[in-house]
Amino acid sequence: DLAAAPIPTVIFNLPKEHELRFEVEHGETALIKLIEGNAEYFGTELLLNREYKLTGCKGAVFTWNSCKLEVSQSTKAYIANETPMMQYARVHKIMDDIRISCLSNRESGPKVIIVGPTDVGKSSISKILLGYSTRLGYAPTFVDLDPGQGSITIPGAVCASLVDKPVDIEDGLTNSLPFVQYYGHTSLDANPTLFKALVSSLATSIEKRMETNEQARVSGVIINTCGWIDGLGYEILIDSIDIFKANLIVVMDNDKLYSELNKKYTGAIKVIKLPKSGGVYLRSPIFRKKTRMSKIREYFYGISGDLCPHFTILDFKDIVVLKTGGGPAAPSSALPIGAQSVIDPLQLQEVTPSTDMIHSILAVSYTKSKQSILKSNIAGFLYVTEVNLETKKMTVLAPCPGLIPSKFLLMGTLKWLE
């Protein structure tokens, strides 16, 4: 019986402070089992003798002491002995010191913001710090300010989530209860004013929570940012640091950014510099796009295809589709010299359903009033599969039936093209 034939495996013996780095293509699966010792995957401990299935990812299993791993033979993997884990653990120690000192006063716990260019391991260190914090019993708020990736929900969103256990090795952050706002674009320059407004609204909700919830205050916040660090990207970064009142800035692998931020922030705000791990993979624009698309697929179909999404037909008269900014602002080259585009980037505009909406991802707001739409949480997302102008109805895919708690749907430029 071929189906039952065991998958060939290889054993890796990892000495103390070594890691096994591996790469799994989209559509392929790697099996990893810890058979002796202790090991962790980005801060989350592997259970002994449990088989983990990983697909379409790059990563590393690290051991502080030593361990033996069984890995499916087809997995591209190698052992590395030089890792920055000791320095990463020091950041955790600084966070812990802030927590201990804020127990005796009303100050906020660590508010760590991770900054740096693309592909330096920002998301990875965020997970490691979340893992180490939750292993000590804290429940930090994780904020994802990178709409290009979508570690909490789909790309195009900016969100926060209370994390009270280490990130699941196979499923990621899916079990948390997030506060989600829909930006609707994967790039910050699409509407920076909107992005900043959403970041402010997110920070305000977190601040309120920290004022009333002792565990949230002491546990603090871990903020992951996107890798755009020049020009407008730098300005947005500074805004994010200020809006969240970060007290610990971690600069990954960029001396210039470190020097700028170190000059700008003094006193109670600590700025530290960390190297990037030699294991961090450079992801091509194509790989990134595939990852983005597979995040959207996971949202509707589940990570292992275990969800059963529903097609729903919506009558145009029962919904109001809104977008911000009135479409892309006219490029300055298209305006008379010296003139500025007059489109208010936060202005909500009603969009008449048309076939242009096909493949769009719409966010369903919880709000009952149009005015508060940019401040309220998103209930979920819909994928437009068909727009019928004759019957005045559109067909959408929803992850579960009966998801639509409000008639207000938000649209951006994000499309899902498989």
Which residues, 355 to 394, sit near ligand ATP by CB under 6 A?
none
Number of residues that bind ligand ATP (CB under 6 A): 20
Question: What is the nearest approach in angstroms of ligand ATP to the Cβ of residue 402?
Answer: 34
Q: Is the Cβ–Cβ distance between 144 and 162 less than 8 Å? A: no
3-class secondary structure for the chain? CHHHCCCCEEEEEECCCEEEEEEEEEEEEEEEEEEEECCEECCEECCECCEEEEEEEEEEEEECCCEEEEEECCCEEEEECCCCHHHHHHHHHHHHHHHHHHCCCCCCCCEEEEECCCCCCHHHHHHHHHHHHHHCCCCCEEEECCCCCCCCCCCCEEEEEECCCCCECCCECCCCCEEEEECCCCCHHHCHHHHHHHHHHHHHHHHHHHHHCHHHHHHCEEEECCCCCCHHHHHHHHHHHHHCCCCEEEEECCHHHHHHHHHHCCCCCEEEEECCCCCCCCCCHHHHHHHHHHHHHHHHHCCCCCCCCEEEEEEHHHCEEEEECCCCCCCHHHCCCCCCCCCCCCCEEECCCCHHHCCEEEEEECCCCHHHCCCCCEEEEEEEEEEECCCCEEEEEECCCCCCCCCEEEEEEEECCC
Taking CB under 6 A as the rule, does residue 281 contact ligand ATP?
yes
Taking CB under 6 A as the rule, does residue 280 contact ligand ATP?
yes
CB closer to ligand ATP out of 233 and 345: 233
Q: Is the Cβ–Cβ distance between 381 and 403 less than 8 Å? A: no
Scanning 47-55, 101-109, 155-163, 277-285 for contacts with ligand ATP by CB under 6 A, the matching segment is 277-285
Taking CB under 6 A as the rule, does residue 273 contact ligand ATP?
no
Binding mask 106-145 for ligand ATP (x = CB under 6 A): ------------xxxxxxx---------------------
Residue number closest to ligand ATP, CB atom: 279
Question: What is the nearest approach in angstroms of ligand ATP to the Cβ of residue 23?
Answer: 8
Q: Which residues are annotated as a binding site for ATP?
A: 19, 58, 119-124
Taking CB under 6 A as the rule, does residue 229 contact ligand ATP?
no
Question: What is the CA 306 to chain-centroid distance, rounded?
Answer: 22
Taking CB under 6 A as the rule, does residue 277 contact ligand ATP?
yes
Which residues, 1 to 20, sit near ligand ATP by CB under 6 A?
19
Using CB atoms within 10 Å of the CB of residue 222, give its burial: 0 to 12 exposed, 13 to 18 middle, 19+ buried: buried
Taking CB under 6 A as the rule, does residue 279 contact ligand ATP?
yes
Q: Which of 33, 58, 292, 295 binds ligand ATP (CB under 6 A)?
A: 58
Taking CB under 6 A as the rule, does residue 326 contact ligand ATP?
no
Q: Which residues are annotated as a binding site?
A: 19, 58, 119-124
Taking CB under 6 A as the rule, does residue 56 contact ligand ATP?
no
CB closer to ligand ATP out of 224 and 360: 224
Question: What is the nearest approach in angstroms of ligand ATP to the Cβ of residue 26?
Answer: 12
Q: Which of 134, 149, 186, 365 binds ligand ATP (CB under 6 A)?
A: 149
Taking CB under 6 A as the rule, does residue 275 contact ligand ATP?
no
Taking CB under 6 A as the rule, does residue 59 contact ligand ATP?
yes
Scanning 28-36, 130-138, 195-203, 273-281 for contacts with ligand ATP by CB under 6 A, the matching segment is 273-281
Q: Is the Cβ–Cβ distance between 364 and 380 less than 8 Å? A: yes
CB closer to ligand ATP out of 210 and 251: 251
Q: Which of 192, 227, 233, 326 binds ligand ATP (CB under 6 A)?
A: 227
Taking CB under 6 A as the rule, does residue 186 contact ligand ATP?
no
Q: Which of 9, 14, 18, 21 binds ligand ATP (CB under 6 A)?
A: 21
Binding site for ligand ATP (CB under 6 A): 19, 21, 58-60, 118-124, 146, 149, 226-227, 277, 279-281
